[in-house]
Chains A and B, each alone.
Chain A
Amino acid sequence: MKPTPFDYSAPGSVAEVLALLADEEREAKVLAGGQSLIPMLSMRLARPGLLVDITRVPCLDRLYVDASGALHVGAAVRQSRAADDPAVHDGWPLLAAAIRRIGHPQIRHRGTVCGSLAHHDPAAELPTAALALDARFVIAGPGGTRTVGAADFFVATFQTAVAPDELLTEVVLPPRAGDGWAFEELARRHGDFATVGVAVTLRRAPDRRTVAAARAVFCGAGPVPVRLPAVEEALTGTDAGAAALDAAASAALAGLTPADDVHATAAYRREAAAHLLVRACTLAWERCS
């Protein structure tokens, strides 16, 4: 099938984007890389009246580290560009690793980082990585610009804090000095969405022997990325040894309530998640600097 007819505009400023999104006559949709939106148009799951292509707005194309050491990824920054950037590679390797698990290079060359976050497929890797990395989301709308934390950004499957007349202009990742990290997932084939996956960050205490802080966030385990404080508590203060990993895995088994679907049963997902968690913690601990 082909998309139903729509108008298209590629404005040159955020103000113009917002003016077009405010169109009350017809449904306007943001077009970034189109790697999720265009299939939805072709399958006629979406029938917007207007597509607003944001990739020609110069200020949305920025990828930089600010004076405080935080990484800013603009809405038009493509996934491959972010994954290949040396600053991302050195400072936010978890982000680069999560991006490399999205489909194939042919998809990542056009898909944007912010597009994946705004789209919010519950099996997608980037929302989970964003929560693990404590991302902040900058959203521009008719009433001005606001910033939303990762815990409040993801609302439900395919739903975020971004309203239809708003634009996610950038995602900001705070510096992650020395944290160990890992992204582990189970997918039917390399490049597929995760059946279940986990992002872990660990920080070593000054004595280097114990875990000072831990984060564990799961994808494919619910309608939003699932952060489990019980898993993090089971790891914090321990030596990240076998007993601690066991306790963390039990906490994951107890805390996750994934759904059954055609890809896997809930029980299988839970079991796999616990195994992936142990593997991710082991890797993250080795990667702490």
Chain B
Amino acid sequence: MTTYLATPDPATATHAAPPPLAEPSGWHEIRLTVNGAPVTAQVESRLLLSDFLRDRLRLTGTHVGCEHGVCGACTVLVDGEPARSCLTLAVQCTGAELRTVEGLAPGDAPLTPVQRAFHECHGMQCGFCTPGFVMTATALTEQPERPDAADVADALSGHLCRCTGYRNIRRAVCQALDERFAGGPAGRGE
């Protein structure tokens, strides 16, 4: 699945023939950037971004839990801001720049500071909620100024962890923020 994005070739990234449909509906050609690679695809109006990422691009790191905006597992970065991919239609993303968990450390690249912090602080148990948390945390570390504790709590409140790993998740996010803003060891790409 990563080969798809490791070779950002618009020719292979084009889905020329959409799968057959049970019912008629609107189809659209969309062009967007996913993890730095240009993507052109034919999508049905009603296709959710979460399904586009998982089923069409095979980027199954974006998880789907509740599918109505509550759990946060499907959170990806749309033009740099965390958003619910289950509450977004793929067709709305024409021209957008998307980042998913696969784009953080593609191939053999070292883990990002956020990913490393989740690993070191054991910020996960089953890992189902992890991609969403990691994407929101990534956006926090990319803000120009360090977000305060209330902002961090607000951002994390947009995610549910059924294993209740919150203490460690919060610790991981704080470690990543310390590293980014308090002059700790510089992370990848910084």
Q: Do A and B bind each other?
A: yes
Q: Which residues of A contact B (CB under 8 A)?
A: 1-8, 10, 31, 34-35, 38-39, 41-43, 51, 53, 55, 80, 100, 103-107, 109-110, 189-191
Q: List 11 A-B contacts (CB under 8 A).
A: A1-B67, A6-B46, A10-B94, A31-B89, A34-B92, A39-B68, A41-B46, A53-B92, A103-B69, A106-B158, A107-B158
Is the CB–CB distance between A35 and B87 below 8 Å?
yes
A168 to B72, CA, bound (A): 30
Chain B 132-169, CB-CB to A under 8 Å as 1, else 0, gives: 00001000000000000000011101100000000000
Q: Which residues of B contact A39 (CB under 8 A)?
A: 68-69, 87
Is the CB–CB distance between B88 and A106 below 8 Å?
no
Given A53-B92, A104-B154, do A42 and B68 touch, yes or no (CB 8 Å)? yes
- Across chains A and B, the number of contacting residue pairs, with CB separation under 8 Å, is 101
Given A3-B46, A41-B46, do A106 and B136 touch, yes or no (CB 8 Å)? yes
Task: Give the one of A8, A51, A53 with max B CB within 10 A.
Answer: A8
The 4 closest A-B pairs by CB, nearest first: A104-B158, A5-B25, A7-B26, A8-B45
Nearest B-chain residue to A191, judged by Cβ = B157
Q: Which residues of B contact A (CB under 8 A)?
A: 21, 23-26, 28, 44-46, 48, 51, 67-69, 72, 75, 78, 81-84, 86-89, 91-92, 94, 136, 153-155, 157-158
Sample of 4 more A-B contacts, CB < 8 Å, known A3-B48, A104-B72? A5-B26, A42-B48, A106-B72, A110-B88
Is the CB–CB distance between B46 and A106 below 8 Å?
no
Is the CB–CB distance between A8 and B26 below 8 Å?
yes
Q: Which residues of B contact A189 (CB under 8 A)?
A: 157
A110 to B78, CA, bound (A): 9
Is the CB–CB distance between B158 and A105 below 8 Å?
yes
Is the CB–CB distance between B68 and A109 below 8 Å?
no
Q: Which residues of B contact A107 (CB under 8 A)?
A: 69, 84, 87, 158
Is the CB–CB distance between A105 and B82 below 8 Å?
yes
A38's partner among B87, B94, B154, B157 (CB-CB below 8 A) is: B87
A8's partner among B28, B153, B154 (CB-CB below 8 A) is: B28
Q: Which residues of B contact A100 (CB under 8 A)?
A: 154
Nearest A-chain residue to B82, judged by Cβ = A106
Is the CB–CB distance between B155 and A104 below 8 Å?
yes
Is the CB–CB distance between B45 and A6 below 8 Å?
yes
Is the CB–CB distance between B67 and A106 below 8 Å?
no
Is the CB–CB distance between B82 and A51 below 8 Å?
no
Nearest B-chain residue to A33, judged by Cβ = B87
Q: Which residues of B contact A5 (CB under 8 A)?
A: 21, 23-26, 44-46
Q: Which residues of A contact B21 (CB under 8 A)?
A: 5
Name the distance in Å between B20's Cβ and chain A's nearest Cβ.
13
A43 to B155, CA, bound (A): 26
B84's partner among A6, A31, A55, A110 (CB-CB below 8 A) is: A110
Given A5-B24, A6-B46, A43-B68, do A38 and B89 touch, yes or no (CB 8 Å)? yes
Is the CB–CB distance between A109 and B81 below 8 Å?
yes
A109 to B81, CA, bound (A): 7
Is the CB–CB distance between B44 and A34 below 8 Å?
no
Given A7-B45, A41-B46, A190-B157, do A110 and B83 touch, yes or no (CB 8 Å)? yes
Q: Which residues of A contact B155 (CB under 8 A)?
A: 104-106
Task: Give the one of A4, A31, A80, A105 with max B CB within 10 A.
Answer: A105
Nearest B-chain residue to A80, judged by Cβ = B81
Q: Which residues of A contact B67 (CB under 8 A)?
A: 1, 42
Q: Which residues of B contact A103 (CB under 8 A)?
A: 69, 158
Nearest B-chain residue to A4, judged by Cβ = B46
A35 to B69, CA, bound (A): 8
A4 to B94, CA, bound (A): 21
Is the CB–CB distance between A38 and B88 below 8 Å?
yes
A80 to B154, CA, bound (A): 13
Given A3-B46, A8-B45, A42-B48, do A109 and B89 touch, yes or no (CB 8 Å)? no
A39 to B68, CA, bound (A): 5
Is the CB–CB distance between B83 and A8 below 8 Å?
no
Q: Which residues of A contact B72 (CB under 8 A)?
A: 104, 106
Q: Which residues of A contact B136 (CB under 8 A)?
A: 105-106
A41 to B91, CA, bound (A): 15
Name the distance in Å between B108's Cβ and chain A's nearest Cβ.
30
Nearest A-chain residue to B156, judged by Cβ = A104
Q: Which residues of B contact A8 (CB under 8 A)?
A: 26, 28, 45, 89, 91
Q: Which residues of A contact B23 (CB under 8 A)?
A: 4-5
